[in-house]
Structure 1
Amino acid sequence: MSKISVIVPVYNVENYLDRCIESIVNQSYRNLEIILVNDGSTDKSGEICNRLARVDNRIRVIHKENGGLSSARNAGLDSATGDYIAFIDSDDYIHTKMYEILVKVQKDTGADIVSCGYQMFDEGDVPKEIDYDNFEFFEYTGTDIYNQLWDRDTSTVIQCQKLFNKDVFSHIRYPEGRIHEDVYVIHRELGKVNKYVFVDIPFYYYMIRNGSIMQTESFTSINDALEGFEDRIRFFSTRGLHEYEDRTLKTLFEYIQLKYRMLAKDNNRDGCRYLQSKMNMLLAMYNTGDFLENKELSKYRKMRKNYLILNVKIKIKSIIGK
């Protein structure tokens, strides 16, 4: 039976950690190596990790100084000995049958990455029950693998509801010091596989809690996402995959416009100015006339006009305030 190395980065999650690890140790698929990476927690998370390791000999604990999610994942990757790699965020949990079914699909299809769906739920709520006896899965090969970055979007990008062949991570590690680390690596992962499979059932339970990245997005996280998209553009460009280079650039423009509206609503003039300069740089750098429709260019012009209006509103507020 092939072994799965399940890597769980842990940082100040004492209220959620037992539930997460219980969902892993109770998997119907038993051949697991569970690597808990305590990333410098200042609460009782480290103690909980040690207690759990004493109860189940499949659990190993790595204690390290705080370096962020990417650093913790990389520490787990460097220590992993399994045939497959999987990740779980320590405030989330998984269905008991998740790995059994993902491994079965992998064996049946020969896929390098098998992904499943996920349920998002608010802290204090309970995910919906799922029928795991009836599900479909979809196989993708060739450049159609890259299409999943748009066809399934977030479900393709996030890492935690996936089963990876260990070879996917040869020469790939997560960028440390980044917030949107998944955006940086997913295109590189997909570029190494011959087959990608999506299992259409939400085995992964993704909790949205107060203070999480999903709940409170900072300007730093926006900038990280922008640079992740730019890295993806370069990735496709150097491989001559210009269709996907263009599609990523469109996605980047849409993301800038979305976040511009968010920052403008908060009267964040510095953030809006930065996004303006980023948009100007991209328009100058790429031959956008080949694929940007008039409607999209109109959106950009409106964005620039809105920035000027925002400056006027902020100045008026400052005068009235005085």
Structure 2
Amino acid sequence: MMNSGISIIIPFYNSDEYLEKCIISVLNQTIFNSDCYDENFIQVILIDDGSTDNSSKIAKKYAEKYNFIEYHYQNHQGLNNSYNNGAAFANGKYLSFLNANDNISRDFYEDMYKLAERNCSDLTTSFVCDFNYGKCENSNIYKTAFLHEEHVLTIKKSFDLLYDNLLNNKLIRHSFFKENNLNFCEKNEHQDFSTVFKMQYLANSISMINQPSYFLRIPDKIESNEDIKDKLSIMRAIDEFIKENINDSELQQFNEIKWLKADLMKYIDDLIFLPKKDSKLRLDIIKDFIENYIDLNNIGNLNEIDQQKYNYLLNSEYEKLFDLLRFVNFDLESSNLNTENSSTVVENDVFTNHSVKIDQFIKV
């Protein structure tokens, strides 16, 4: 039987460096002192996905100390399996899937819960901050997702919400989750953001908290080519869902432009940190995806530098692409650019010794 509160599902696998901080950020929530709280209001479900470090010991310690914290062990089956199993144990009116590496603001659950109740929303979401090594900054992606001043929206009203594809910054009405048979694809090791897309599309309304509340830890390592293959398979699932269930050409176009601007562009921009051999394999993977799942006319909606990146990629001119990436990330960033009489002026002469000429990708 469901209670009136929140089930917080925290899967973890070898997360002893951050798990305790995550649990403490839950225990410090203001909702424990709010007028809506009772002893059964919060359920914390810790899913141990076969950890071999000290994570299990940390989780058990808190489960023994607090009667609203549960510890469940399973053999290592992956993140999405852990999400699904955690949801099966949940009895709250709302679900929250919290990443063990991340943190939340003290008023995260109180604000999310009260907003969801006030607006009767199936989905409630909050602004995200990226952090690591003591640095924290508002996510540029979420600046796009939260452009609107309105605080209750739907995907049909604002396609910009597609940029908010994180699961962990959301509060989900449990009955909505069950009625739509939502779950996470266990074939993929990475967070299944195709399920987030389905939630966003099916939700009666999406309430938004436009202030930094969820703190997303940015990993130190560059994603591997296998990681990218997994994520592209999720993007293919989204593409299939749109075509089979929505048939909205404007949404399809917006989603493809979003992929080109954000998701795929990030994989391309990271190339400067990879060995050449790995870089060329990654480009082949991305090129194949674009040729099969993207309307190439949508590249024309990007800025001229990004258009040029994709032109080099699709023409297999990889050396020119690497040259352009170095130019944009190093030479151009180290130059002082300003505008005079509607023209771009470069105060440092970075072009004379560089094989990429500025008139190839910037109109003045």
TM-score (norm 1): 0.80
- Which amino acid is 1:227 matched to? S
Deviation of 1:87 after TM superposition, in Å, equals 1.5
Report deviation, 1:44: 1.5
Q: Percent of aligned pairs with the same residue?
A: 22
Maintained 8 Å contact 1:234/1:245: no
Residue 98, structure 1, aligned to residue 104, structure 2: no
2:238 corresponds to 1:236 = no
CA RMSD of aligned residues (A): 2.9
3-state SS of 1:7 partner: strand
Match of 1:319 in 2: none
1:191-202 aligned at under 5 Å gives the runs: 191-202=201-212
Q: Does 1:248 align with 2:255?
A: yes
Seen in structure 2, the aligned counterparts of structure 1 residues 64 and 102 have a Cα distance that, compared at 3 Å, is same
The 3 A distance-change label for structure 1 pair 310 and 179 is: farther
Please state how far the C-alpha of 1:269 moved relative to its aligned partner: 2.3
Which of 4, 7, 10 is 1:8 aligned to?
Answer: 10
Equivalent residues of 1:179, 1:224 under 8 A apart: yes
Q: Is the 1:226–1:252 Cα contact (8 Å) retained in structure 2?
A: no
Give the aligned partner of residue 224 of structure 1.
230
Partner of 1:276: 287
Quickly say closer, same or farther: Cα 1:271–1:121, change in 2 above 3 A.
closer
1:303–1:257 distance in 2 versus 1, CA, 3 Å? farther
One-letter amino acid of the structure 2 residue matched with residue 99 of structure 1: Y
Higher RCO, 1 vs 2 (CA within 8 Å, ≥6 residues apart): 1
Residue 229 of structure 1 contacts residue 248 of structure 1 at CA under 8 Å; is this kept in 2? no
Give the alignment partner of residue 80 of structure 2, picking from 70, 77, 96: 70
**Per the alignment, in what secondary structure is the counterpart of residue 232 of structure 1?**
helix
Opposite residue 235 of structure 2, the aligned amino acid is: F
Query: Aligned partners of 1:127, 1:253: CA distance in 2, in Å?
Result: 26
- Where does residue 173 of structure 2 map in the other structure? 165
Given the superposition, is the C-alpha separation of residues 137 and 276 from structure 1 closer, same or farther in structure 2, using an over 3 Å criterion? closer
Alignment-derived partner of residue 141 in structure 1:
154
Which amino acid in structure 1 is aligned with residue 267 of structure 2?
K
Q: Secondary structure at the match of 2:317?
A: helix
TM-score, length of structure 2 as denominator length:
0.72
Residue pair 2:8, 2:43 contacting (<8 A) in 1 also: yes
Shift of 1:257: 5.1
In the alignment, structure 1 segments of 5+ residues that lack a partner are: 129-135, 314-322
2:90 aligns to what? 80
Opposite residue 246 of structure 1, the aligned amino acid is: Q
CA distance in 1, matches of 2:100, 2:155: 34
Q: Which runs of 5+ in 2 are unaligned?
A: 33-40, 138-148, 324-364
- The correspondence for 1:185, drawn from 192, 195, 218, is 195
For residue 244 of structure 1, report the CA deviation from its aligned partner.
Answer: 0.9
